[in-house]
Amino acid sequence: MIDSLSVVAVITARGGSKGLPRKNVLPAAGKPLIAWTIEAAHQAIHVDRTILSSDDDEIISVARQWGCEVPFIRPPELSGDTARSEDAVLDALDRLDRPYDVVVLLQPTSPQRLAVDIDQCLKQLVDSGAPSCVSICPVSKPPEWMFRLAAGGVLSPILGDAGRGKRRQDLPPCYTVNGAVYAAHVDWLRRTRCFFTDETVGSIMPAERSLDIDTAQDLRIFEALHP
């Protein structure tokens, strides 16, 4: 709970991963990948309840072994390749036995995320008065240095001449959504069906805790960081 607002964390983990099959339950530095997220959610001081939304028997079994509540099985229509996380979260909220004021979406593919990152995002949500807050991290290269390839392989700067000849330290800091924490007031999420709008604020996480596990190489990097 934070500022008298009840908080539920929803861990979304469907079984049909394509980029890295079965990634949610693969061994990752001594424990299943999903266990890192379950532990972070349980350690977050502002989270009142943590549940799993999944369609997969193995993921459900592993999550329960690590102490995560699984009050329902996600329906097939919300478990395919085109399924949106927001729809899975709203389905979870509809199935729970009581309402909550704030919901936090946690994806198992962000195992570097700590409890403090979850709590910081929730605090930013409340302190800012915004309807939603998502975790962000600094980008390694500014967008002013990015290009598209035009006809004949000619470089076409995305932002025109804005960054031409400028050093990184001369450009304003830029951030990207890192996928680790999404928090929103439930009533607002029901209306918008999206965690990210022009009202959303960002909660900065360090780049070293922003690794997103999507490929076998990502998993190897994670394990190298946790020998």
Q: Which of 61, 22, 176, 37 is nearest to 118 (CA)?
A: 37
User: What structural domains and CATH numbers belong to the chain?
Assistant: 7-138+175-225 (3.90.550.10), 140-173 (no CATH)
Confidence of residue 163 (pLDDT cuts 50, 70, 90): low
Q: 155 pLDDT exceeds 90?
A: no
β-pairing verdict for 155-157 and 147-149: antiparallel
Instruction: Provide the residue type at 184 as one letter.
Output: A
Helix axis angle, 57-65 to 33-43, nearest 10°: 50
Confidence of residue 83 (pLDDT cuts 50, 70, 90): confident
- Reported pTM: 0.92
Instruction: Assign residue 69 a region (left: φ > 0; alpha: ψ between -120 and 50; beta: otherwise).
Output: beta
d(CA 28, CA 33): 5
Q: What is the largest CA-CA distance in the chain?
A: 60
Task: Write out the H or E segment, with its range, that includes residue 133.
Answer: strand 132-138
Q: 192 pLDDT exceeds 80?
A: yes
Averaged pLDDT score across all residues of the chain: 93
What pLDDT, in 10s, does the model give residues 55-79?
Answer: 999 999 999 999 999 999 999 888 8
